[in-house]
Amino acid sequence: MSHPDALDAIQNLLDYRFQNLDLLRSALTHASVADNRLASNERLEFLGDAILGLVICEELFRRFPDFLEGELTRVKSVVVSRETCAHVADRLNLIDYLNLGKGIIEAPHMPTSLTSCAYEAVVGAIYQDGGLEPARRFILAHMAEEIDRVMAGEHRLNYKSLLQQHAQHDLGATPTYEVLDEKGPDHAKAFELAVVIRGRRYPSAWGPSKKTAEQLAAMEALRVLGRLEEETEPVVNEDNDAPAPESDAAPDEDDA
């Protein structure tokens, strides 16, 4: 990784030019090839993990002003997860630039933890080299898309699809989605929706778009119906803390 052409190529991929190239070299040096653990990327990974968490928390706080603490925490836990970091690292092709021991290179499958740690180490290296603003730009250039994926319900479960399958198979009906309320200016509206099945309205949910609110409302209906298994525990709105801008909530059942 010390070859000048390789260093130039990885900086182009990262869209960041290092003042101190030793930081970049360290971020891409796995413990399996380092002379000692202190010479590996583990310390930078530790720092990068903290910076990543800070930037994502700040971004979620800014983007979703009506979300409660529990909702923000659960979205953040997915966005900064090992799986997500590895996904971003794969998009950046970081694996092609890592210094790895022979045993790892020859392994049939590359551990997810290896690439996710490399991504966090790069975040730490950028922070050390240029400060918080360059690190923030780098993180959000790639993680903004991951936030959108989580909020659209596409990261782990498509709750609308799961609910439709259950409702049609076990209840003989197709779910409909009812808009109960919307608040906020045109550029930052929040929507409250509820699922209705065979005349029954299930607990409502708020979201920054109708699509997101539908996914969260479907999740709430699945919870009431007992269709959320332990292994498919939702990543957002887990405790029925709907991110409503006001404390009043829509009734669980239709008034009719």
Give 199's pLDDT tier (boundaries 50, 70, 90): very high
Token couple for 151: 């909020």
What is the pLDDT at residue 176? 96
Q: What is the mean predicted confidence (pLDDT) over 153-180?
A: 81
Residues catalogued as catalytic: 49, 120
Give 14's pLDDT tier (boundaries 50, 70, 90): very high
- Give the C-alpha separation, 245 to 99, whole Å: 49
50-100 tens-digit pLDDT: 999 999 999 999 988 877 787 788 889 889 988 899 999 999 998 888 887
Domain 159-232 has CATH 3.40.50.1000: no
What is the pLDDT at residue 165? 80
How do the domains of the chain map onto residue ranges?
4-151, 159-232
Give 235's pLDDT tier (boundaries 50, 70, 90): very low
Mean pLDDT value across the chain: 81
Burial of 256 (0-12, 13-18, 19+ CB in 10 A): exposed
Report pTM.
0.60
Cα-based torsion angle of the residue sequence 48, 78, 84, 106 in order, rounded to the nearest 10 degrees: 90
18-54 tens-digit pLDDT: 999 999 999 998 766 666 667 678 999 999 999 999 9
98-115 tens-digit pLDDT: 887 665 655 555 667 788
Asked if the domains at 4-151 and 159-232 fall in one CATH topology, the answer is no
3-state secondary structure of 179: strand
Residue 156 vs residue 60, higher pLDDT: 60
Domain 4-151 has CATH 1.10.1520.10: yes
